[in-house]
Amino acid sequence: MAAKKTTKKAADVAVVAEKKEISILAKRITEKSGLLSTQHAYTFLIPMDANKTQVLAAFKKEFKKNPVKVSVARMPGKPLVRAGRPVRKPGYKKAVVILKEGDKIEFM
């Protein structure tokens, strides 16, 4: 006897996705991000559970600019030795936001 296959349709399963607002934690200031800012690309620290669409919405809300592209990268934690004991430096997530030519963000 053959088992009858059943498939669930999208209409049958109602998934309610709640939109979560995030905030951009901080501007990431490094030598590399300084060089990228001359090319209209800015680097920010974001929460670990944030995605590209949430970063885009938070950026538009905070800076009132419309980015051309948003890239997100998760940076891994690294092992360290402090006072002779092994510890682990926590990882973080960063977003690189690219603006169109002529747009600029001023920081203090």
pLDDT at res. 1: 56
Assigned domain for 82 exists: yes
Number of domains in the chain: 1
Give me the DSSP letters along 37-59.
HTTTEEEEEE-TT--HHHHHHHH
Farthest CA pair distance, the chain: 73
pLDDT tens string 29-48: 889 988 988 899 999 999 99
pLDDT at res. 48: 93
CB 51 within 8 A of CB 20: no
The CATH number for 41's domain is 3.30.70.330
Assigned domain for 36 exists: yes
Assigned domain for 4 exists: no
Low-confidence ranges of the chain (pLDDT < 70): 1-19, 108
- Indicate the pTM of the whole model: 0.73
